[in-house]
Amino acid sequence: MNGVINWLDERLGVNQIWGIIFLRNMPKGVNWWYTLGSATLFVFIIQAVTGMFLAMYYAPTPDHAYDSIQYIMNEVIFGQVIRGLHHWGASAMVVLVILHMLRIIVMGAYKYPREATWIVGVVLLLLVFGFGFTGYLLPWDEKAYWATTVGTNMAGTVPFIGGFLLVAARGGSDLGALTLTRFYAIHMLFLPSLTVGFIALHIFMVIRQGISVPPAIWEKMEDVSHSVTRARELVGKR
């Protein structure tokens, strides 16, 4: 095993990458609230894995979508577990990403020099909402149908471009086969690709800029910095 790791390290520098990501110095005062981002990433990985297994049995057509879900739940080995993880993981991901955003706001971690990190995080929040909206239609039951009808009607009320958004979302004037196929493609292809890219960028920024400390500790650090600066000035005058 060590030989394989050394072989990879000589060619890819895996030990250096491991050290940069997992062996970083962490500021004092970091607590469980700072794990919300990692928890969200963990849930996203679960969603991706369970989603791939579900896609093997799901049929994105109005005639077979609901039946394929029932087949997964009742016939596929561990199908009920996998769909349950995916279903509840979607709700958990929304809750975690909102809590993570609130923590950033309360701690003031969106301020200089982390504004770009905050913007990327907001984009990820919108992508999570996009996952929830597009995935809700896929079971193609009555609740999903009418919830999506209401959601797309809301998009249609946007001034000037509402009509275009409504037709673009549904693929026509009413919900149908094209709507389901479009939502499935967005849910399985477009959103995951964008999310993986923005997650990689977000993690790079967090590693590059470091984790912001709580406000109380930041104030103590500033007081210590001012004291050191003042001491140096006094020594310089002597």
Residue type, position 188, single letter: M
Confidence of residue 223 (pLDDT cuts 50, 70, 90): low
Is residue 228 scored above 50 in pLDDT?
no
Confidence of residue 157 (pLDDT cuts 50, 70, 90): very high
Residue type, position 224, single letter: V
Query: 134 lies in a domain?
Result: yes
| Cβ-Cβ contacts under 8 Å for 198 (sequence gap 6 or more) | 120, 123, 124, 127
**How many Å apart are CA 185 and CA 200, to the nearest integer?**
22
**How many Å apart are CA 201 and CA 204, to the nearest integer?**
5
Query: 18 lies in a domain?
Result: no
**How many Å apart are CA 65 and CA 59, to the nearest integer?**
5
| Cβ-Cβ contacts under 8 Å for 189 (sequence gap 6 or more) | none
Is residue 229 scored above 90 in pLDDT?
no
Q: What is the pLDDT of residues 81-122, one digit of tens each?
A: 999 999 999 999 999 999 999 999 988 889 888 999 999 999
Q: Which domain holds residue 170?
A: 30-237
pLDDT score for 113: 87
Query: 5 lies in a domain?
Result: no
Chain-centre distance for alpha carbon 238: 56
Q: Where do runs of H (alpha helix) occur along the chain?
A: 2-12, 14-22, 36-55, 65-74, 79-107, 115-137, 142-155, 162-170, 177-185, 191-209, 215-237
CATH code for position 199:
1.20.810.10
pLDDT score for 172: 87
Q: What is the pLDDT of residues 181-220, one digit of tens each?
A: 999 999 999 999 999 999 999 999 999 888 877 666 655 6
pLDDT score for 23: 80
Instruction: Tell me how many domains the chain contains.
Output: 1
The model carries a pTM of 0.87
Query: 105 lies in a domain?
Result: yes
